[in-house]
Structure 1
Amino acid sequence: MKKIFTIICLLCSTVGNTFAQNPLIVKVAEGRLQGVQEKEVRIFKGIPYAAAPIGSLRWKEPQAAKPWKGIRDATHFGNRAMQRASYADMVFRSPRIDEDCLYLNVWTNAKRPTEKLPVLVYFHGGGLSSGDGSEWRYDGESMARRGIVVVTVNYRLGIFGFYAHPALTKQSTHTTSGNYGYLDQVAALLWVKKNIAAFGGDPSKVTIAGQSAGSISVSSLMASPLAKGLFRAAIGESGAVLASISPIPLQEAEQNGETFMKQVGIPSIETLQQMPAEQLMELATKASKRFSPTVDGYYMPQSPLAIYETGLQADIPLLAGWTSAEVSYHHATGKDQLTQASYKQLLTNLYGAQAEEVLQFYPANNDTEMLQSATDLASDRYIVHGTWKWMDLHAKTSGSVVYRYLFAKHFPEALDPRFITKEPLLGAPHSSDISYALGNLPNNTFYKWTPADFDVSGKMQSYFVNFIKTGNPNGAGLPNWPGLQASIPKVMVFDTETKTIGEPHLKRFVFMDRFFE
């Protein structure tokens, strides 16, 4: 035992000495890394946290990254996962799409590895079918300057990350298939636990966060026993693995996998496994298939609803919320313009005999109110209700505090013609809160930012920083943000005036809850 302790101390001394001599060279379990200094922060890009999931490792659980000799160049971002570009606001710095994609990036301002700074691990959005940890809006430089070690993670997407099939289930040592993208995220968190101290981070002070599909991932990781003990707090921005976005049973996913093979005329799973990545991506794109996460009995042992209802999720502080106009009303109505008659017909089509009751929660006494109600309805059905359900259940069944926000700051004038809309936005759209929360407005050149925008960003980032450091967003100079379990629960509104308000829409969420059940 004494000999083992001596070896560990020597290893720790070696890491510390390397960092002190040259802070751009860090030693992790797999070998040494050469990072780059940008402004005040050191960045280590494109670090492999698992073996490349190619060849025989396609549709397999992530395997350990292979050690390397010498010093590995970590000055460039790694490949992003196989995908088709989906959203105009995604600006990548990664070199290309590739099946070899299991890389993460670290931003740190620590002067030595013994600082034990809190850690933020951020999972990108993109519907589990697109996105990348190199996007400018997820850049970790601003947060790192405020004393946090930031990690962004790439994970398998689409057919590469969530394809299930009976043959793959039989091949698995855990009798499961699909959820490879989520298993990648667990592997990244295990890597962080093992290695983040080399960058000055504290593996016992990890907060996981994400937006949209990243937020869904956070709620999923909280429910998975495989991620237990790998983080102490969570942040979710618009999305949860509940309600309309719940994973499907493994058997249903396997059937979908078989249907896909028949649809594209592929005779065997071996043919798919050996197919070039680009060809497989093309088949999935042409078939217009989306591959859903599953309740697989391994990563997700039972439905997330059952897990959260019985308090089996991670018992940790949660800060989460959504934007005031996640989607336009066209998300529910289609391309047609809305009229009083068409709005009431829409409610009848969606809710049948309950349409009149729905009209109480989403009223239309005039055209202005109708458009706002239609926007609220579309947003609730899309992602808001699931996010609310996550927070509501966690507040009821865990022993930890839950903080809820509403991001309502409208975008300023658009400088990029792609973001100039013909119809006025009736609130803050989906994804608009990312750059504000992470302090990355200067990286976003699509809009003409105003002092009011930077003021909102400063407050929101401060709350996030405090929460990551302590599990409580409150701090000096900020309006008090009570948790939902307070005697009078409040919601923090981020807008030109940042303030707390009482829960304004509980009845409509309760109705939506009954409807989805």
Structure 2
Amino acid sequence: MVLVLSSLSAFAQNRTVRTESGLVQGIPANDAKISAFLGIPYAAPPLGDLRWREPQSVPAWSGIRKADHFSASCIQHISGERLPWTREFLAQLPISEDCLYLNVWTPEIKTKEPKAVLLWIHGGGFVEGAASPAMYNGEQLARMGIVVVSINYRLGIMGFFAHPELTQESAHHASGNYGLLDIVAALQWTQKNIRAFGGDPARVTIAGQSAGGTAEELLTASPLAKGLFRAAIIESGATLSDPTGGSLAEAEQQGTQFAVSIKKPTLKELRGLSAEDLQTLERNAHLRFGADVDGWFLSEGVPAVFAAGRQNDVVTIDGMVADEGSSSKSYGALTPEEFQKQVRKTYQSLADEFLSLYPSSTQAECTESQKQLERDRRLVSMYLWGVKRAGTSKTSFYTYYFDHALPWPEHPEFGAFHSAEIPYWTRNLKALDRPYTPVDWAISDTLSSYWANFVKTGNPNGKGLPAWPALEPAEPVTMELGDRVAPQPVVSPEKFKLWMEYQKVNPQLE
């Protein structure tokens, strides 16, 4: 009995790490060689007067803090399941304002050669999501020799509410963007603490999907994030359009109108409401609070930052999936008549050429043309964003197009849906009960290898993998990732010529 207790004590000590705020004790992952530290605070709970303030330092604690379970999710509506996103993709845990925690999976705590670090930023439209869903579990990637960090950050009205009184009380004369400031704080925590977990603070790659990818784009434009990461993987995030919602003044106006509409016009009254009541009022008002150009986190819009060469110039992967819009009932649902009318309204003098390349003589043909037109628009926009970026960036830019549908006999209509690539590169296919074939496991091996190589070296290429070329403005190609893994043209030459004509009159490809 004494030997067993002694062994357990040593086992726990081997997974005890000192952070700047105190000791944390992790647990073994399913693979006991991997240590998991779940629910580590990276900022003080944003409660009371700290609601709608930049994240504050974590108060120090004494003794050993157990890091053995995920924290609560940030304030949001928990939907449970919303197809095509099953429970494995969505936040399921209780919600709380006290949610600024992160998780670490590491293959080796004490090492002479620190491991490269991947910091994951979840998606969810800046209104939902968490670090805890099964799809984001970092154990399998840690087995590939990297340290994985996943984070929560404030969402919706709690994370992006701006108001004149908030601006006035701020030392930086800014308000809104609290969720983005949380991500900066998590990156700062990583710089200060990750070496104790076996990670290398000089080799931090941020990765995120959807809103998480948008956050990355914003981080590359923010002076507050300078030097906090060396590479970025943007999944279904970056396009030609500016991801900010507008100026600080516009965000303050939206916040003021909301406060007046709920009859709580002052900041004191707003802070007096419970977080759950605020979130309900936000949903009932059908409002969406987002990033603003506040003069502190962002001094100007993202395109302007890149045009002037003031971005955090880091090597970047940017990609998309084939069926980004398949969650909508309108996806490919227009009749030929409706589609032709829409094309004529949108593309005007170029409509005949678009209809020639995206024909709609039958419903089946029309459905496919609708989907392909949207894919091509996004592909061209991604390529052009890379071209603009190349004007002031010295680092490489890699793009991809993921077109393999997750096996789902009950719902083939969703195809390669928004988020479908995540379980492949995180090696979490087993978390989903699907009728996989050897092709799925091969794709997972390939994608995770590309991602792990990129985290380790800043280049996705490696031994045994098809060559993935970096973007060259004169050669419009992207990397197809799916049943086929190889470079492909962004679009066909005749389509490319037409999209370039359209882009002359509509630079954002909206």
TM-score of the superposed pair, with normalisation by structure 2: 0.90
Please give the residue correspondences for 1:300-379 in structure 2 after superposition, counting only pairs within 5 Å.
Answer: 300-328=298-326, 334=330, 337-352=333-348, 355-356=351-352, 358-359=354-355, 362-378=358-374
Cα deviation for residue 121 of structure 1 reads 0.3
Residue 51 to residue 307, structure 1, CA distance change in 2 (3 Å): same
> What is the aligned counterpart of 2:455 among 465, 468, 472?
468
Please give the residue correspondences for 1:16-415 in structure 2 after superposition, counting only pairs within 5 Å.
Answer: 22-38=13-29, 39=31, 40-86=33-79, 87=82, 88-91=85-88, 95-240=93-238, 242-243=240-241, 245-328=243-326, 334=330, 337-352=333-348, 355-356=351-352, 358-359=354-355, 362-378=358-374, 387-414=382-409
Distance 2:239 2:169 in 1: 27
Matching residue of 1:444: 432
Cα deviation for residue 254 of structure 1 reads 1.0
Cα deviation for residue 19 of structure 1 reads 10
Matching residue of 1:3: none
Cα deviation for residue 494 of structure 1 reads 1.1
Matching residue of 2:3: none
1:424-466, Cα deviation, whole Å (9 max, x unpaired): 34x4111101111111111123x22221111111101101111
1:385-444, Cα deviation, whole Å (9 max, x unpaired): 664454332233201111111000012134xxxxx33x734x411110111111111112
C-alpha RMSD over aligned residues: 2.5
Letter in 2 for 1:440: N
Cα deviation for residue 231 of structure 1 reads 0.6
Judge conservation of contact 1:103–1:153 (CA < 8 Å) in 2: yes
Judge conservation of contact 2:91–2:129 (CA < 8 Å) in 1: no
Identity %: 41
Judge conservation of contact 1:247–1:303 (CA < 8 Å) in 2: no
1:43-63, Cα deviation, whole Å (9 max, x unpaired): 000000000011000000000
Residue 180 to residue 384, structure 1, CA distance change in 2 (3 Å): farther
1:132-179, Cα deviation, whole Å (9 max, x unpaired): 001111110011000000000100000000011111111111111110
Distance 1:355 1:19 in 2: 71
Structure 2: gaps spanning 5 or more residues: 1-8
Matching residue of 2:413: 424
1:101-147, Cα deviation, whole Å (9 max, x unpaired): 10000000115143310000010000000000011111100110000
Residue 390 to residue 62, structure 1, CA distance change in 2 (3 Å): farther
Letter in 2 for 1:462: S
Distance 1:213 1:255 in 2: 23
Residue 128 to residue 507, structure 1, CA distance change in 2 (3 Å): farther
Distance 1:354 1:509 in 2: 10
Residue 250 to residue 490, structure 1, CA distance change in 2 (3 Å): same
Distance 2:92 2:35 in 1: 18
Cα deviation for residue 498 of structure 1 reads 1.4
Letter in 2 for 1:82: I
Distance 1:19 1:240 in 2: 47
Judge conservation of contact 1:78–1:94 (CA < 8 Å) in 2: no
SS at match of 1:106: strand
Judge conservation of contact 2:42–2:100 (CA < 8 Å) in 1: yes
Residue 390 to residue 133, structure 1, CA distance change in 2 (3 Å): farther
Residue 464 to residue 72, structure 1, CA distance change in 2 (3 Å): same
Q: Structure 1 residue runs of 4+, over 6 Å off?
A: 18-21
Residue 355 to residue 123, structure 1, CA distance change in 2 (3 Å): same
Judge conservation of contact 2:325–2:331 (CA < 8 Å) in 1: no
Letter in 2 for 1:396: G
Matching residue of 1:433: 421
Cα deviation for residue 376 of structure 1 reads 3.6
- Once the two structures are overlaid, the 10-residue window that deviates more, 244-253 or 276-285, is 244-253
Judge conservation of contact 1:77–1:134 (CA < 8 Å) in 2: yes
Distance 2:401 2:320 in 1: 5
Structure 1: gaps spanning 5 or more residues: 1-17, 415-419
Matching residue of 1:11: none
Judge conservation of contact 1:388–1:509 (CA < 8 Å) in 2: no
Cα deviation for residue 262 of structure 1 reads 2.5
Cα deviation for residue 488 of structure 1 reads 4.1
- Once the two structures are overlaid, the 10-residue window that deviates more, 111-120 or 216-225, is 111-120
1:215-269, Cα deviation, whole Å (9 max, x unpaired): 1111111111100001111101101275164431111111111121222222322
SS at match of 2:99: coil
Letter in 1 for 2:366: M
Distance 1:509 1:100 in 2: 47
Cα deviation for residue 316 of structure 1 reads 1.5
TM-score of the superposed pair, with normalisation by structure 1: 0.88
Q: How many residues were matched structurally? A: 489
Judge conservation of contact 2:160–2:178 (CA < 8 Å) in 1: yes
Distance 1:310 1:260 in 2: 35
SS at match of 1:328: coil
Residue 287 to residue 384, structure 1, CA distance change in 2 (3 Å): farther
Residue 20 to residue 512, structure 1, CA distance change in 2 (3 Å): farther
Matching residue of 1:8: none
